[in-house]
Structure 1
Amino acid sequence: MPTEFEMRHKNQKFAAAARSGKKPTNPSRQEQLSKRSPIPVWALGMILFVVIGGLVFELVRLIFL
């Protein structure tokens, strides 16, 4: 078990970090999930592939046919 001196030192260090504006703790799971995109990266990639691929094929059809 830590001594009273060690606990006091850690508390002072934590308080100093909190006052300086640094985030003193790790973000919670709910905060991490709120920052994530609602659409997964692979789904966005598939949508872009279909849209851009369709656009390329349509341009090829218009130009060469």
Structure 2
Amino acid sequence: MPTEFELRQRNNKFANDVRSGKKAVKPSRQDKLAHRSPVGLWALGLVVFVVIGGVLFELVRIIFL
């Protein structure tokens, strides 16, 4: 079993290889967090619902009243 020092060395080598342009096997946790949206999908849906719903109600009010 590799020691903690060897694991750190391998991790550093892998990170340096990825930074220098070699393709990573799978994205790191930091990469995943960097690409995530700061707004949750449910919150975005709620905002869209409120905005589009408000526009539709205003159009109905203008056209039919």
Rg larger for? 1
The AA in structure 1 aligned to 2:53 is G
Q: Give 3-state SS (helix, strand or coil) of 1:38's partner.
A: coil
| Structure 2 residue aligned with 1:23 | 23
| Structure 1 residue aligned with 2:9 | none
| Structure 2 residue aligned with 1:5 | none
Question: What displacement does 1:42 show?
Answer: 1.0
Structure 2 residue ranges without an equivalent (≥5): 1-17
Q: Compute the TM-score of the two structures, normalised by the length of structure 1.
A: 0.61
Coordinate RMSD, CA, aligned: 2.1
State the number of aligned residues: 47
Identity %: 63
Structure 1 residue ranges without an equivalent (≥5): 1-17
| Structure 2 residue aligned with 1:10 | none
Runs ≥4 residues deviating over 4 A: none
Greater relative CO, 1 or 2 (CA 8 Å, sep 6+):
1
Question: What displacement does 1:30 show?
Answer: 0.8
Q: Give 3-state SS (helix, strand or coil) of 1:24's partner.
A: coil
Question: What displacement does 1:60 show?
Answer: 0.3
Q: Compute the TM-score of the two structures, normalised by the length of structure 2.
A: 0.61
